[in-house]
Amino acid sequence: MKPVYIVVFCCLVFLSCKKKVEQSDLFSKGISLGVVDDQLHEASGLVESIANPKYLWTLNDSGNPAEVFLIDQKATIKLICKLKGIDNRDFEDITMGAGPDSTKNYIYVGDIGDNLARYKIKLIYRFEEPVLGAEEEILISTFDTLQIQLPDGVRDSETMMVEPYSKDLYLVSKLEDSVRVYQIPFPFQKNLMVANRVATIPYFKVVAGSISANGSEVLLKDYDHIYYFRNETNVPLPKLLQQQPTLLAYDRERQGEAIAWARDGSGYYTLSEKVSGELGKLLFYKRNLRLPGN
């Protein structure tokens, strides 16, 4: 076979395989639930609440006040939590996890972004999850500040996840040609912690991630793709992320930097920023095929 035919043949095979993967029928196409308020013009990070089922926590990234927002299923802001005495250096992700009191749920706010590689220490703020009441705004004056240093230099990061069983915290870098995965074992110390680099995975510009409530499914997101990992044999997260994922169908958001599983396993959400005057949308991707354990 002539070289030119070999190239064409290989390209056709590649495109055929790629198309087959992208047509995964695990989840339906994203449906818009609502448009977020202009106060959330740079939404970056998303997680479903535990104390307030079907509501979602989110935040704005750098240059905005140190605030966390609770939104409903129509993307309407229901509560604003203002963190006292700190700056939003570059909030990039938010998640839920364990904390000092095993009977309570905690919000983790990741001040982990660093586009200009200026910060040697990443800051993560942890506080007890508020319950929605009559107030539209509350002041969070009591919280823990986790200080984390990466073992291999200063790196930008926009992805933070808590593994539900080990309770370990994971960060994923953004700008390397193959991004790096870091682990901070639970329980977390009050002094400076040096993360463990536990994996290098072949993705670029990873901007969000989410682990399902039962720990069996993981999503990673870059600007163009959503990668789905099914943990059928309970392998550790670093090993799972090195396996071949399923590439889910995704209508690219112009600045989509947030993804979160629904806690009941029914699907997942994405949220985008305001771009060129167009406000971000809260999208929901419904699960089509129910898997064991979900």
* Full set of structural domains in the chain with CATH: 3-286 (2.120.10)
Q: Is the pTM of this model over 0.85?
A: yes
Cα distance between residue 262 and residue 287, in whole Å: 10
For 62-68, the CB contacts below 8 A with 24+ separation are 62/88, 62/89, 62/90, 62/91, 62/113, 63/88, 64/88, 64/91, 66/91, 68/94, 68/107, 68/109, 68/140
The DSSP bridge pattern shows strands 196-201 and 246-248 to be unpaired
- CB of 218 within 8 A of CB of 248? no
CB 91 within 8 A of CB 107: no
Q: Judge contact between 201 and 241, C-beta under 8 A.
A: yes
pLDDT value at residue 290: 63
Partnered with residue 170 across adjacent β-strands are 161, 183
d(CA 210, CA 256): 14
CA distance 124 to 164: 18
Which DSSP string do the residues of 15-40 spell out, in sequence order?
HHHHHHHHT--SBPPPEEEEE--GGG
Structure tokens at 97: 């996890």
Contacts (Cβ under 8 Å, ≥6 apart) of 34: 73, 74, 75, 76, 281, 282
Torsion of CA 228, 215, 272, 68, to 10 degrees: -170
Ramachandran angles phi, psi of 161, nearest 5°: -140, 150
Pick from 72, 77, 48, 74: nearest CA to 60: 77
Q: What is the mean pLDDT of each run of 10 residues along the chain (294 residues)?
A: 42 39 76 94 96 97 96 97 97 97 97 94 98 96 98 96 97 96 96 98 97 97 96 94 93 90 96 88 90 58
